[in-house]
């Protein structure tokens, strides 16, 4: 993955994590369902993208071109790394949401979150596990949106290249 994308992903993840933790966002049962649906669709988007790229002349061209930013690999290898990261974040979020739902770390729809007394005092502040997990999941959602945007750009470039070959 390119360095600037790693930096952007880290900034985005930690910004969403900090903001959502600070405002004490809570996941309702409905929101958990929506997020699982979102991440599942995103994962399907990634798999569909891989299937479209498989065997295309665009992927053959990417395999032949050396990545100018990462000299030790081709552009196809770089794209594979982006797919690996994006798929990993989607699956991690889905599993985390399922675990949250199964162990009852959600708020009933239409109710306010009751302050959890099971927080750990750490360096003068309290650290609540359910709130931290919620914030991590929302951070993963933000990174998934970034990956979708990046991979969508690749798909459009491939689409234009494939379309241009048949003129």
Residue 119 lies in a domain: no
Average pLDDT over residues 86-90: 91
Domain region containing 142: 3-108+125-162
pLDDT the model gives residue 45: 86
> What value does the mean pLDDT of the chain take?
83
pLDDT the model gives residue 149: 92
| Phi/psi of residue 156, nearest 5 degrees | -65, -40
Query: Looking at the 3D structure of the chain, how many domains does it have?
Result: 1
Average pLDDT over residues 135-159: 89
Residue 105 neighbours by CB distance under 10 Å? 19
pLDDT at 134 over 70: yes
120 - beta bridge partners?
127
| Cα–Cα distance for residue pair 147/1, rounded to 1 Å | 11
pLDDT at 96 over 50: yes
Residue 167 lies in a domain: no
Residue 150 lies in a domain: yes
| Cα–Cα distance for residue pair 1/85, rounded to 1 Å | 9
Confidence of residue 166 (pLDDT cuts 50, 70, 90): low
3-state secondary structure of 147: helix
Residue 114 lies in a domain: no
Residue 144 lies in a domain: yes
Average pLDDT over residues 4-33: 91
pLDDT the model gives residue 115: 46
pLDDT the model gives residue 114: 47
pLDDT the model gives residue 46: 87
pLDDT the model gives residue 112: 53
pLDDT the model gives residue 111: 53
Average pLDDT over residues 22-29: 85
**Residue 143 to residues 5, 33, 52, 98, Cα–Cα distance (Å):** 10, 19, 23, 19
pLDDT the model gives residue 48: 87
pLDDT tens sequence across 50-77: 888 887 888 888 888 888 888 788 888 8
3-state secondary structure of 7: helix
């Amino acid at each position: 993955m390119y360095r600037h994308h790693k930096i952007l992903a880290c900034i985005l993840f930690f910004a969403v994590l900090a903001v959502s933790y600070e405002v004490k966002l809570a996941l309702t049962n409905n929101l958990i369902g929506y997020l699982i649906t979102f991440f599942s669709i995103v994962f399907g988007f990634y798999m569909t993208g891989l299937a479209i790229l498989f065997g295309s002349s665009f992927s053959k061209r990417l395999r032949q071109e050396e990545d100018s930013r990462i000299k030790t690999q081709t552009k196809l290898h770089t794209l594979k790394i982006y797919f690996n990261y994006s798929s990993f974040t989607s699956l991690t979020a889905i599993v985390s949401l399922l675990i949250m739902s199964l162990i009852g770390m959600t708020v009933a729809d239409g109710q306010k979150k009751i302050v959890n007394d099971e927080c750990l005092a750490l360096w003068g502040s309290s650290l609540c596990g359910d709130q931290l997990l919620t914030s991590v999941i929302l951070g993963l959602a933000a990174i998934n949106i970034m990956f979708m945007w990046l991979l969508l750009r690749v798909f459009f470039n491939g689409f234009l290249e494939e379309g241009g070959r048949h003129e």
